[in-house]
Amino acid sequence: MQNINSLRILWLLVGMMFSVPAFAEKLIVKDHVTLREGPSRSANILGYPVIGTVFDLLDDGQQVRGYFHVIGPDGRRGWVYHRYVRRETSDIEALATRPTTAVHFIDVDQGNAALIEFPCAAILIDAGGRGDIASDHLIAYLDAFFARRTDLGKRLATIFVTHTHVDHNSNLRRISERYKVGGYVHNGLLNGSGRVGANWMRDFTAAASPLLANLAVQNPMIEAAGNQGVANETIDAVKCANVDPGIRVLSGGFVDNPGWPDGEFDNGNNHSLVIRIDFGEASFLFTGDLEETAIETLIDRYAGTAMLDVDIYEVGHHGSHNGTTKPLLDAMTPEIAVISMGHEEPQLPWAAWAYGHPRRDVVTLLAAAVSRTRSPAVSVRVGDKVKRFFGFSLTRSIYATGWDGDVTVNADTQGIRSVKTGE
């Protein structure tokens, strides 16, 4: 009781201190931005403020067509587009009510299925998994999710499938028949191990009434977007009243060989969608099963931009030796990494054990790159080749569905809040 009373008093004091908010709102430039005379892309250019410039926010922070009215440290007034600036406030009530997001890395054994929960919507990246147990777990997880988030009306705004392999799309049909789906985004290739699901989904979207958005993201579309990634209304379909998450595809199916060896071009993994999500200051990157050759192409494309710089990295290709490179991690500077892979048991083909996932070399690279600590430290199992595993002591914020079960990363518009495991 005494503790509760002390807490109440503390809250009262905090309330008194902040009940008159010192509303000093700032905008900090986080990306290359143009300062313009008016709230329009055609307005005269006043300058190019460097990253880190701090503006004071004018007009109570009201946006006009996505632009903020600001005054700079040099006293100059102008307009900047919201995407390239970060809003900071000293109002404690605003901190307590910041919009939140959660990324649920669902344990589907050897495969991938990540549910991204927004304040007003949810999307799914991949609908895979190995076997009936994983499939039933995925459905049970989604059922429980929608039972909690009744406001979403059992609707996934978009399903992204990174590539047409069965460990990424085996549950497409089951999910699409059970829940409402707003759109389907994929890499346009139908010839992988997941072709049955991909073909079924193609017909399903075509027959849907009202018509279900079906978008193949391929290299010409990525090229046309310059080095910003593609973010059209099908890909970036979520906009909530209090936050507009940014969803963009940075790499897709390659129609022509970009100069890779033939074997690399024929490898469906290299055609994976790469998806970046921005939720205010929190950012997430999903690279599907992209392998080294395509990772190099990705890094080259976004060199000199902050497009690959994220807080949370879903580790490529289930922690395989070829799914993560040091240059990629250097571009990302991740705070947290999550691996979607199977458990060491069962010792069967098409299981993590048979692939030796995750690889010790990759977990070692991650441990050197991930900035947050994992506390308490845990002992996990990693492979150095197929079917051979070792103990590994983990002190960094690296999580894996094969070690931890379901992993949920909670964030708000200022960054990561917490990680929850083993539900």
CA distances from 128 to 64, 116, 123, 315 (A): 41, 15, 14, 16
* Cis ω before 261 (30° cut-off from 0): no
C-beta closer to Zn ion: residue 104 or 317: 317
**What single string gives the DSSP state of each residue in 116-175?**
EE-SS-EEEE----SHHHHHHHHHHHHHHHHHH-GGGTTEESEEE-SSS-HHHHTTHHHH
We find the least distance from the C-beta atom of residue 113 to Zn ion, in angstroms, to be 11
We find the least distance from the C-beta atom of residue 168 to Zn ion, in angstroms, to be 6
We find the least distance from the C-beta atom of residue 193 to Zn ion, in angstroms, to be 10
Piece in contact with Zn ion (CB under 5 A), picked from 162-170, 271-279, 333-341, 383-391: 162-170
Binding status of residue 167 toward Zn ion by CB under 5 A: yes
For 344, half-sphere exposure in the C-beta direction (CA atoms, 13 angstrom radius) is 14
C-beta closer to Zn ion: residue 162 or 205: 162
C-beta closer to Zn ion: residue 101 or 272: 272
Residue-wise burial string across 332-349, b where 16 or more C-beta atoms lie within 10 A, e elsewhere:
bebbbbbbbbbbbeeeee
Piece in contact with Zn ion (CB under 5 A), picked from 56-64, 136-144, 284-292, 293-301: 284-292
Q: Which helix (H) or strand (E) holds 18?
A: helix 2-18
d(CA 106, CA 81): 35
C-beta closer to Zn ion: residue 264 or 289: 289
Provide the token pair at 211: 């018509």
C-beta closer to Zn ion: residue 289 or 314: 289
We find the least distance from the C-beta atom of residue 269 to Zn ion, in angstroms, to be 7
We find the least distance from the C-beta atom of residue 338 to Zn ion, in angstroms, to be 15
Whether residue 276 contacts residue 229, with contact meaning beta carbons closer than 8 Å, is answered with yes
Considering only residues 19 through 48, tell me which ones interact with Zn ion, judged by CB under 5 A: none
Instruction: By CB under 5 A, name the one of 109, 289, 292, 311 that touches Zn ion.
Output: 289
C-beta closer to Zn ion: residue 298 or 411: 298
Considering only residues 206 through 265, tell me which ones interact with Zn ion, judged by CB under 5 A: none
Per DSSP, helices labelled H in 333-377 are 352-355, 360-369
Total chain residues near Zn ion (CB under 5 A) = 2
Q: Which of 33, 65, 74 is nearest to 50 (CA)?
A: 33
d(CA 141, CA 107): 9
C-beta closer to Zn ion: residue 117 or 167: 167
We find the least distance from the C-beta atom of residue 328 to Zn ion, in angstroms, to be 17
We find the least distance from the C-beta atom of residue 353 to Zn ion, in angstroms, to be 15
C-beta closer to Zn ion: residue 80 or 108: 108
d(CA 301, CA 305): 9
Binding status of residue 314 toward Zn ion by CB under 5 A: no
C-beta closer to Zn ion: residue 78 or 194: 194
We find the least distance from the C-beta atom of residue 380 to Zn ion, in angstroms, to be 20
Burial class (CB in 10 A: 0-12, 13-18, 19+), 40: middle
Q: What is the DSSP letter of 179?
A: S
We find the least distance from the C-beta atom of residue 248 to Zn ion, in angstroms, to be 22
- Give residues with Cβ within 8 angstroms of 115, minimum separation 6: 103, 104, 106, 122, 123, 124, 141, 142, 145
Whether residue 66 contacts residue 82, with contact meaning beta carbons closer than 8 Å, is answered with yes
Piece in contact with Zn ion (CB under 5 A), picked from 24-32, 49-57, 285-293, 361-369: 285-293
Piece in contact with Zn ion (CB under 5 A), picked from 175-183, 283-291, 361-369, 391-399: 283-291
Beta strands in 30-118 (DSSP E): 35-36, 45-47, 54-57, 67-71, 77-81, 85-88, 100-105, 114-117
We find the least distance from the C-beta atom of residue 197 to Zn ion, in angstroms, to be 13
Binding status of residue 404 toward Zn ion by CB under 5 A: no
C-beta closer to Zn ion: residue 109 or 167: 167
Piece in contact with Zn ion (CB under 5 A), picked from 31-39, 50-58, 148-156, 167-175: 167-175
By CB under 5 A, name the binding residues for Zn ion. Answer: 167, 289
